Structure 1
């Protein structure tokens, strides 16, 4: 049974179910052990602290340990890779069902994930849409490409079109210029979505986290805070008005005074690792705004 970590914030109103990205980079197995320690555990804790914390102003945050698919499963398309992802998803689904049993029936739910975590949550939203009906504040499926016509209809949800809309999906993938997202598009375009339709580049969802709406652009003055870590990733400082953003053909292009966030910018100027950190203050404000709208709907 997957274990979970409760980040206690007992006075809050909602409950957040957060699924962390891939942190198991070893090559010795397809799936991480549930009790993986060392570097994988430290990476997982860092993502929980830096990403799930954006929601602790309005909710308790639950972060399950799960037998995540190892990094290599995303480099291959064979049957073993597919089985590894299915195993990881079954753990996330079991953890979610256990999480839901602990929540009062009238408590609003926020779903949040990153990368592999968002992939699993996209499947979960399709499989548990009835259980979430009327309770979902929003789903933050960040760092994983989603199709508006091939994925979202299977979830019974739409892309967030307004900053005060509830029961909708937000998703973005951050790149600086000159951006080269070809590694993402080559692996994703032409694959089958959750409803069986073929995914197309022009249908990729991009939410601007500075506006809380699909597509569009926003000046860096609207950014409520980028989470800038120290050299050891032990502490971080929230620095507002550093980074602006605009959606461009499915990807979020960042601009402005981009700070040194660490050594993990990926090829193609891909700021994948920092998708939440770039906009941490605005994500926090977004969750607060949507919860307020949910309460008065």
Structure 2
């Protein structure tokens, strides 16, 4: 019996090793095969202009119960008084199915996963003010693994929802509140367009404390000017943009950069080879390096993801020549590291306490 057990263990170990080899060699192709929808894009009508005036269209806003963005680890508390900044946060992709190109608004799995992301990401802003995070018909994960026309249609539909949500957000917060704009991954992509289309060059831009465009590459040469904000050069600078994409080493960013390098920038020119905006979240400055001792707190989630412990001094960060944020060997923060040592899912949580201080510092700067 013991020998049979050892055979089973040996077989499982061999299977895991073989799977790891296959994943390392063909990982990106396997991901594309699994997540890109095989069906055609399904056209849908635009949402009504007033639909985001309803509280149920938001995952987070000041007046709803069980707001996931108000979560904090032990030792921290959200703001307990009204006021501060009004924070518009666009959550990352939480719809992984290949059943549709866009998530249904009532998809429970996608909404539950989005709420989890708000706890680990948007929560960094809950000391600075009130967080608004809309539900939207997000493009499915597979939309980012192909340059097919249907992927573009799915992203355009999602961005249409974001524009309506942002207009409602502005109506409801009034005309004098300072604003923080933030997002991650797909949310950061939509934020780049929102900055270009709705904020840059308008009176609204003067109210923006900072834009956190995290987990989506921003070209310094091709995108920044059109978005209307410079990259943050000082830790206490207002009216600037922060962006980073996190990789452990050795890093293979091909899953991110292959498609990005085939794209066209906001200036109409190819982005290929262009340097990315890289803000070091440990320093709040561009193209910087910092030791792990500068990290005030990384979130280490529990196995069930129901809670997290914050630990300081664990993760360093430096910007490389292309503009990727490198963190050395990489900590064990969970099973969701993507191929190529891509810590994309953890872009905020690796530097949670530093980003929390960053937004508070910029809000208080003059």
TM range (shorter): over 0.9
SS at match of 1:243: coil
The equivalent position to 2:145 in structure 1, one of 57, 61, 75, is 75
Q: Shift in Å at residue 87 of structure 1?
A: 0.3
The equivalent of 1:22 in structure 2 is 93
What is the CA–CA distance in structure 1 between the aligned matches of 2:175 and 2:130, rounded to whole Å? 15
SS at match of 1:203: coil
The equivalent of 1:208 in structure 2 is 280
| Runs of 4+ with deviation above 4 angstroms | none
The equivalent of 1:159 in structure 2 is 231
The equivalent position to 1:35 in structure 2, one of 96, 102, 106, is 106
Asked whether the equivalents of residues 143 and 275 of structure 1 are also in contact (C-alpha less than 8 Å), the reply is yes
1:252 aligns with 2:325: yes
| 193-202 or 41-50, which deviates more | 193-202
The equivalent of 1:127 in structure 2 is 197
What is the CA–CA distance in structure 2 between the aligned matches of 1:202 and 1:82, rounded to whole Å? 22
Q: Which digits, 9 at most, give the CA deviation of each residue in 1:254-292, with x for residues without a partner? A: 037x43211000011000000001000000000011001
Which runs of structure 2 are paired with 1:58-73 in the superposition (5 Å)?
Answer: 58-73=128-143
What is the CA–CA distance in structure 2 between the aligned matches of 1:240 and 1:128, rounded to whole Å? 38
- Give the structure with the higher percent helix: 2
Q: Shift in Å at residue 7 of structure 1?
A: 4.3
Asked whether the equivalents of residues 123 and 194 of structure 1 are also in contact (C-alpha less than 8 Å), the reply is no
Asked whether the equivalents of residues 59 and 115 of structure 2 are also in contact (C-alpha less than 8 Å), the reply is no
Which runs of structure 2 are paired with 1:130-279 in the superposition (5 Å)?
Answer: 130=202, 132-248=204-320, 249-255=322-328, 258-279=330-351
- Give the structure with the higher percent strand: 1
SS at match of 1:22: coil
Equivalent pairs, count: 292
Unaligned runs of 5+ in 1: none
Q: Give the TM-score of the pair, scaled to structure 1.
A: 0.95
What is the CA–CA distance in structure 1 between the aligned matches of 2:244 and 2:135, rounded to whole Å? 24
The equivalent of 1:6 in structure 2 is 60
SS at match of 2:113: helix
What is the CA–CA distance in structure 1 between the aligned matches of 2:83 and 2:318, rounded to whole Å? 32
Q: Shift in Å at residue 201 of structure 1?
A: 2.9
Q: Looking at CA atoms only, which structure, 1 or 2, has the larger radius of gyration?
A: 2
Unaligned runs of 5+ in 2: 1-50, 63-78
Change in Cα spacing, 1:131 to 1:43, as seen in structure 2 (3 Å) is: farther
Q: Which digits, 9 at most, give the CA deviation of each residue in 1:78-133, with x for residues without a partner? A: 22111110000000111011001111211110011000000000000011121522
Q: Shift in Å at residue 36 of structure 1?
A: 1.2
1:285 aligns with 2:339: no
What is the CA–CA distance in structure 1 between the aligned matches of 2:203 and 2:158, rounded to whole Å? 21
Q: Which digits, 9 at most, give the CA deviation of each residue in 1:48-68, with x for residues without a partner? A: 111111000011000100000
| 235-244 or 7-16, which deviates more | 7-16
What is the CA–CA distance in structure 2 between the aligned matches of 1:216 and 1:202, rounded to whole Å? 18
Asked whether the equivalents of residues 12 and 57 of structure 1 are also in contact (C-alpha less than 8 Å), the reply is no
| 130-139 or 193-202, which deviates more | 193-202
